[in-house]
């Protein structure tokens, strides 16, 4: 007789159970409750002409936007039962963006939009990320995603094309996330769960109005041993905001975000053979050197908005402190970062056109050391001792005009960037500076509930301080030969919403041309990732997305993305860009039966290359996850919703990500086997 453990690890058994549950739920519509219908339908019922696009930091709405944009509003059932341990759990049905969980918290998720950001060895490059109006992307273009607790994200928006007009450097796309819950959400919510790999998490959030002050606060603690050896992690994360009216025409909001990661072990990437036969292993040199990361990071911001007779003034400022200790095979990197910026814009409201003008400054100061690694601790041999400085100043304007059903929009942003390093070992200074001018132009035509749009936009991507510093052949100071990437993008598409059918659709064609491409490579095993400019790439393709609720008890979310990203010049001419899957699809299906909610996720990733020579292939794979929650335990002022989540229910063996152009053929980062989580959510109203 099979034990529960045997049944859980029996793929054939799980396929039968999963199919049975779907059929059972599909044929019990009479149990569907009106409460569940209202909550879930809210994610589809969107007035396209009224929803302001937060990611553009302007007055533009989704209905008027002459560009490709995706959004997600999470339901209460999703907030209850989806673990959302990594951001890919929220974005797998959004076209254009691909976030892969690397099973490695020391590196964080890998993200690319239409292939932009593919080269990043850790964190995010080439894409601007904003959390609650605070830019997580610092002046040199680096974005560290560990600050974000995806479980706390209530909604998100995605600009899928080049967006330098809105965000400047490193904006091959913009991901905007908000943690503020809707007014009808529970005032206090506590969620906890535990499961495979000794995983445990506690979450607490609170929102209220106290003496006229609008308060939103959250905090979480999580820990896990991880699927792979030497991949344990531990997190503390929290956020707090307070907003209030200064007068009848002005408001102010202050925010604080904190993230602490006392432990994030780094298992390294594996060869194809090891990834297939021993996927949970860590690369020995990484484990022996106790490779990993620990950091503390705090971000503060303030935002002042004043409505004047002639328009709207918006002024914001933010600052960041980050303390990083990063043991690696070749040494220990220690970074103390201070960064910040401010932005001011004015939207004129009494002109024949909609006009926004403004300016922005960003700055960054990194104290950087590199020492030898002695059992995971910094030794006495100092190989790097320097301070990196980055300054960015920008002026911008945007103009749009509504002509009946036609909206025409144009914008321009001018950026000046300065990089400087003070090297205390060689007693040498090095600096780089450049200018960038980025225009955009778009049109949007409306007929009924359908929108046709076309857009031309640009962006640039400066090398980060890490990329400037890690120079081929060694040496101190910044690489004098490395230049920014430049991108020109074109897109056209159609999107619309049929309210009678609760059917929302989006179809977009795009083309990107990238010049002065920045290529990552390694000179020796376990060594630092180095960078050089190498030719051009072209990215073109198709993005499709459908959201539909055909019946009261059923909703569907479907996505397919095709992107062809290839090198046009240089040593890799006609090769495909590594780390970019040409074909991807994602789907989420949800059933509501009384107080029961059952949902399933499906994600398919086509095969793609792991190296620029196109000699190493990461095979295609598909993953199926499922979740169940029950919301029937309710009282006057509180309720409990137990849930269970099973990830990779068919126990697929796959590599969730790759290390681009890694030395020695160690490209592959294996994904987790079947695993589960069980917990509950307590709501106080």
pLDDT tens digit string along 82-91?
999 999 999 9
Q: Residue 579 in contact with residue 611, Cβ under 8 Å?
A: no
The pLDDT of residue 56: 74
Domain spans, the chain: 32-684
Does residue 544 carry a pLDDT above 60? yes
Lowest mean pLDDT among 124-128, 266-270, 532-536: 532-536
The pLDDT of residue 36: 33
C-alpha–C-alpha distance, residues 235 and 223, integer Å: 6
- Cα-based distances in Å from 281 to 60, 284, 455, 616, 647: 49, 8, 47, 20, 20
Does residue 270 carry a pLDDT above 80? yes
Phi, psi of 83 (to 5 degrees): -60, -40
Q: What is the mean pLDDT of residues 311-325?
A: 95
The three state secondary structure string of 448-465 is CCEEEEEEEEEEEECCCH
- Global pTM reads 0.89
Lowest mean pLDDT among 54-58, 108-112, 232-236: 54-58
At residue 476 the predicted structure's pLDDT band, cuts being 50, 70 and 90, is low
Q: Which residues pair with 614 in a beta bridge?
A: none
Phi, psi of 250 (to 5 degrees): -140, 150
Q: What share of the chain is helix, strand, coil (3-state, %, to 5)?
A: 10, 55, 35
What is the C-alpha R_g of the chain?
25
The hierarchical CATH code for the domain 32-684 is 2.40.170.20
Burial class, 467, CB count within 10 angstroms (exposed 0-12 / middle 13-18 / buried 19+): buried
Q: What is the mean pLDDT of residues 322-350?
A: 94
């Amino acid at each position: 007789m099979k034990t529960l453990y045997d049944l859980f690890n029996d793929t054939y058994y799980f396929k039968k159970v999963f199919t049975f549950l779907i059929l059972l739920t599909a044929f019990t519509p009479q149990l569907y409750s009106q409460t569940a219908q209202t909550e879930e339908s809210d994610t589809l019922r969107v007035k396209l002409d009224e929803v302001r696009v937060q990611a553009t930091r302007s007055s533009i709405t989704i209905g008027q936007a002459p560009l490709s944009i995706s959004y997600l509003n999470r339901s209460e059932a999703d907030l209850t039962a989806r673990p959302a341990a990594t951001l890919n759990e929220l974005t797998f049905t959004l076209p254009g963006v691909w976030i892969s969980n690397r099973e490695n918290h020391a590196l964080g998720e890998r993200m690319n939009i239409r292939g932009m950001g593919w080269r990043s060895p850790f964190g995010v490059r080439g894409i601007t990320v904003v959390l609650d109006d605070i830019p997580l992307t610092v002046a040199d273009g680096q974005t560290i995603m560990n600050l974000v607790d995806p479980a706390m994200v209530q909604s998100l928006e995605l600009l899928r094309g080049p967006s330098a007009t809105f965000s400047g450097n490193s904006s091959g796309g913009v991901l905007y996330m908000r943690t503020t819950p809707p007014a009808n959400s529970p005032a206090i919510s506590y969620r906890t769960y535990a499961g495979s790999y000794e995983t445990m998490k506690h979450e607490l959030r609170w929102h209220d109005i106290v003496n006229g002050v609008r308060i939103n606060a959250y905090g979480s603690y999580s820990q896990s041993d991880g699927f792979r050896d030497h991949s344990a992690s531990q997190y503390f994360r929290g956020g707090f905001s307070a907003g209030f009216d200064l007068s009848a025409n002005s408001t102010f909001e202050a925010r604080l975000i904190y993230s602490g990661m006392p432990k994030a072990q780094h298992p390294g990437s594996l060869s194809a053979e090891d990834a297939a036969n021993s996927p949970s292993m860590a690369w020995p040199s990484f484990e022996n050197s106790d490779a990993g990361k620990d950091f503390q990071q705090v971000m503060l911001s303030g935002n002042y908005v004043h409505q004047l007779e002639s328009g709207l003034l918006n002024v914001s400022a933010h600052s960041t402190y980050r303390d990083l200790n990063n043991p690696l095979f070749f040494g220990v990197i220690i970074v103390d970062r201070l960064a910040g910026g401010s932005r001011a814009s004015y939207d004129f409201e009494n002109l024949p056109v909609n006009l926004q003008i403004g300016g922005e400054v960003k700055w960054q100061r990194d104290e950087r050391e590199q020492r030898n690694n002695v059992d995971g601790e910094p030794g006495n041999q100092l190989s790097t001792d320097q301070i990196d400085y980055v300054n960015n100043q920008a002026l911008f304007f945007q103009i749009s005009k509504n002509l009946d059903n036609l909206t025409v929009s144009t914008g321009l942003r001018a950026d000046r960037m300065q990089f400087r390093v003070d090297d205390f070992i060689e007693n040498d200074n090095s600096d780089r500076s450049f200018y960038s001018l980025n225009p955009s132009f778009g049109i949007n035509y409306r007929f009924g509930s359908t929108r046709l749009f076309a857009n031309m936009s640009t962006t640039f991507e400066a090398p980060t301080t890490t990329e400037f510093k890690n120079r081929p052949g060694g040496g101190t100071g910044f690489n004098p030969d490395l230049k920014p990437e430049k991108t020109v993008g074109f897109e056209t598409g159609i999107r619309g919403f049929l309210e009678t059918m609760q059917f929302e659709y989006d179809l977009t064609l795009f083309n990107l041309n990238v010049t002065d491409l920045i290529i990552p490579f390694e000179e020796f095993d376990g060594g630092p990732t180095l960078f050089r400019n190498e030719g051009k790439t072209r990215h073109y393709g198709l993005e499709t997305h459908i959201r539909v609720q055909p019946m009261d008890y059923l909703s569907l979310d479907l996505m397919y993305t095709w992107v062809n990203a290839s090198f046009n010049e240089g040593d890799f001419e006609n090769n495909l860009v590594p780390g970019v899957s040409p074909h991807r699809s994602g789907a989420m299906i949800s059933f509501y039966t009384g107080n029961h909610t059952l949902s399933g996720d499906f994600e398919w990733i086509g095969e793609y290359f792991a190296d620029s020579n196109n000699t190493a292939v990461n095979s295609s794979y598909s993953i199926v996850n499922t979740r169940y929650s029950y919301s029937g335990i309710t009282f006057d002022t509180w309720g409990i919703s137990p849930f269970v989540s099973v990830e990779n229910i068919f126990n697929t063996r796959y590599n969730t990500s790759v290390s681009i152009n890694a030395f020695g053929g160690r490209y592959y980062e294996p994904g987790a086997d079947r695993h589960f989580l069980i917990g509950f959510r307590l709501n106080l109203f």
